[in-house]
Homo-oligomer: A and B are copies of this chain.
Amino acid sequence: MNHLSGHPSLTPMLRKLMKWSALDEEDQQAILDLPHEIRRVDRGDYIVREQDKPSHAALLLSGFAYRHKFVGSGGRQILSVHMSGDMVDLQNTLLRTADHNVQALSRAVVAFIPCRAIKELAFGRPRVGMAMWYDTLVDGSIHREWTANVGRRDARARVAHVLCEFGVRLNDGDLGSPCTYEFPMTQEEFADAVGLTPVHVNRTLKALDRDGLTDRAHRSVSIKQWDRLAEIGDFSTNYLHIQDEQGRAGADLPAWRMRP
């Protein structure tokens, strides 16, 4: 990791929080004024380690990261994937001891904000606090969906589900289109996210291609039949709790987002 003083600003975080709660000028300024330190990290670098007691909360300004934990047998479960604007360890602000790892999935720029500053902001400015709380709640909702994904869906559905979720979230963060994007994970990482082996993920992906649902070349994903893929993956956007800038849940979403 190399350190450098901060040209990149906290705008991505502001952008995200504004989706969750209406913030006035002062709220917005307070967020941007948060003290922070910027670091660039490489693919594979750890941002937080299980058992750490971080004094700073990490915020992803660009690139991708993922959260994961190891199990006794040596396996690894990827718990979520994060993109620009995500607060990858807001929970450590209050929880003190990290219960899982956060690792960079690509080169990334990360802002580290003192936990104390986060707490003061959250409770000094209720609207900001509400937005942060909202964010952690959406995080929890995604965790629940992933539990259901690995617990009760077969391989084809698990894989399809993640492909859909990723497209929607990239789109929602203005980072790509829902049906064509660069997938930031290797198949080994994909496997650890869906609770399968890399071999079987590979076969499942190939099968989706063969059936004309997707079209992949290396890491680039193109979803050819969104509706059918979403159906196979049992995907609906409800659990993402997407809101427009005015904070109306699910308002005016394009048809492909919702499932009847």
Contact with B along A175-196 (1 / 0, CB 8 A): 0000000000000000010110
> Assuming the A-B contacts A140-B140, A241-B95, are A77 and B148 also in contact, with contact meaning beta carbons closer than 8 angstroms in the complex?
yes
Q: How far is the CA of A51 from the CA of B72 in the complex (A)?
A: 37
- A256 in the interface, Cβ–Cβ < 8 Å? no
Residues in chain B near residue A137, CB distance under 8 A:
91, 94-95, 136
CB within 8 Å of B: which A82-124 residues: 91, 94-97, 99-100, 119, 122-123
CB within 8 Å of B: which A141-174 residues: 141, 143-148, 150-154, 157
- Count of this chain's copies in the oligomeric assembly: 2
Interface size class of A (residues with CB under 8 A): 35 or more
CB within 8 Å of B: which A68-85 residues: 69, 71-73, 75-77, 79
Name the CB-closest residue of B to A153: B71
Residues of A within 8 A of B (CB): 50-51, 67, 69, 71-73, 75-77, 79, 91, 94-97, 99-100, 119, 122-123, 126, 129-130, 133-134, 136-141, 143-148, 150-154, 157, 192, 194-195, 231, 234, 238-239, 241, 249-250
